[in-house]
Structure 1
Amino acid sequence: MTSQSQGIQQLLHAEKRAKDKLEEAKKRKGKRLKQAKEEAIAEIDHYRLHREKEFRHKQSNIMGSQGNLSTKIDEQTVAKIQDITNSYHKHMDSMTKQLLNMVYDLQPNIHPNYRSSV
């Protein structure tokens, strides 16, 4: 019986060691998962920062070119207004004379569709 109880004791002891090894393996697995998660988060953050930097760079290039466009459009508008003003001053006298001549030299005529009742 003692050999039997010794065998049972050895089995219980082996079972306890196996259980301890399983717990230790689970702890190592949890640590590895946690470490892998932290590394993945760090890699994601690095990638996100890189992409945001590229986005800001492209955005500044586009916005800068839009700023140049608005400056160019403003210059063109000022030039066009100046041309129109010059044309106005150049042709103002002749157009005024022409309009006044049309008003002063009015020749009354009967309209061709008018039918007299007499």
Structure 2
Amino acid sequence: MTSQSQGIHQLLQAEKRAKDKLEEAKKRKAKRIKQAKDEAMVEIDQYRMQKDKEFRMKQSKALGSQGSTSEEMEEQTREAIRGLRGSYSRCAEGVLTQVLSMVCDVQPELHANYRAAD
């Protein structure tokens, strides 16, 4: 009987060691899963930051080009205004003289459709 109780005792110890090993394996598995999850989160954060940076660069490039286009349009407008003012200052005196001569120097003449009353 002692050999049977020793055998049962050995089986119980073997079962306990197996249960301990199983528990240890479960803990290692849970730890590896948690570690993999943490690494994945780090990679996701890095990827998100990289894409966000690329987006901001594209956005600034697009907005920057709009800003430079706006500045170019404003410069062209200022240049056109300068040209018109220069043209005005050069031609104003001659146009004014021409208008005054047309208004003040009237040459009376009969209209082409005028019929003299008999």
TM, length-normalised to structure 1:
0.69
| Post-superposition offset of 1:47 | 1.2
Aligned length: 101
Match of 1:72 in 2: 76
Deviations 1:2-45 (A, max 9, x none): 22222111111110000000000011111111111111111111
The letter of the residue matching 1:69 is: M
Residue 46, structure 1, aligned to residue 36, structure 2: no
Q: How does 1:1-118 map to 2 (within 5 A)?
A: 1-86=5-90, 88-92=92-96
Q: CA RMSD in A?
A: 2.3
% identical equivalent positions: 8
Q: CA deviation at 1:89?
A: 2.8
Deviation at 1:81, TM superposition (A): 2.9
CA–CA distance in structure 1, aligned partners of residues 50 and 86 of structure 2: 54
What is the deviation of 1:84?
4.0
Deviates more, 1:75-84 or 1:44-53: 75-84
Counterpart-to-counterpart distance in 2, 1:23 and 1:83? 89
Which amino acid letter does the alignment assign opposite residue 18 of structure 1?
L
CA distance in 2, matches of 1:51, 1:81: 45
Residue 91 of structure 1, CA deviation: 4.2
1:79 deviates by 2.2
What residue number does 2:112 align with? none
Matched AA of 1:59: L
Partners of 1:66 and 1:95 in 2: CA distance: 40
**Once the 2 structures are TM-superposed, how far is the Cα of residue 86 of structure 1 from its aligned partner?**
4.6
The amino acid across from 1:81 in the alignment is R
| 1:45-95: CA deviation from partner (whole Å, max 9, x where unpaired) | 111111212222222222111111000001112223334445543344576
